[in-house]
């Protein structure tokens, strides 16, 4: 299972990618501890993976994200392109341009969690 955790009230300018990923790690470790999950959290390039019970053969990959609609809307308007869906766009953590390009698939049949940061 894959999920995106949106940190509302934060922007790419306020929190670098590494900090966002670190904030998600804290939340996921706390959740795992509170629910007695024994298998360790695994760090991947863009996400954190939480394996579940041995017999379940199941894990969840969670990628941190921030809203990026205003930034995308401005860019699309400059290029005279359609902005109708721009307000729903998010930016995710990535370590390369290739990672960013492949992330465009997010949203098709994926879960979306929201963490409010006081906003």
For 45-61, give the secondary structure using H, E and C.
CCCEEEECCHHHCCEEE
For residue range 68-106, what is the model confidence (pLDDT) as tens digits?
Answer: 878 788 888 899 998 888 888 888 766 543 443 334 444
Please state, in angstroms and rounded to a whole number, the distance separating the CA atoms of residues 50 and 29: 9
Number of domains in the chain: 1
pLDDT, position 41:
93
pLDDT per position as a tens digit, 42-58: 999 889 999 987 667 88
Place of tokens 């299972």: 1
Q: Which domain holds residue 64?
A: 2-116
What string of DSSP letters covers the chain?
A: -EEEEEEET--TTTS-HHHHHHHHHHHHHHHHHHTT--SPPEE-SS-EEEE--GGG--EEEEEEEEE-HHHHHHHHHHTT---TTGGG-EEE--SSHHHHHHGGGTTSS-EEEEEE---
> Mean pLDDT, the chain, as a whole number?
77
Query: What is the C-alpha R_g of the chain?
Result: 16
Asked whether residue 108 carries a pLDDT value surpassing 60, the answer given is no
Q: Check residues 5 and 10 and name the one with the higher pLDDT.
A: 5
Q: Tell me the average pLDDT across 1-6.
A: 86
* pLDDT at res. 93: 67
How confident is the model at residue 49, as a pLDDT? Answer: 94
Q: Which residue did the predictor score with more confidence, 5 or 116?
A: 5
């Amino acid at each position: 299972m894959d999920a995106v955790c949106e940190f509302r009230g934060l922007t790419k300018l306020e929190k670098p990618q590494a900090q966002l990923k670190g904030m998600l790690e804290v939340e996921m470790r706390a959740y795992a501890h509170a629910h007695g999950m024994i298998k360790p959290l695994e760090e991947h390039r863009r996400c954190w993976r939480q394996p579940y019970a041995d017999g379940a053969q199941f894990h969840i990959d969670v990628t941190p994200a921030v809203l990026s609609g205003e930034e995308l809307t401005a860019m699309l308007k400059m290029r005279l392109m359609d902005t109708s869906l721009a307000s729903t766009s998010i930016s995710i953590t990535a370590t390369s341009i290739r990672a960013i390009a492949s992330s465009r698939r997010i949203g098709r049949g994926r879960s979306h969690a929201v963490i409010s940061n006081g906003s």
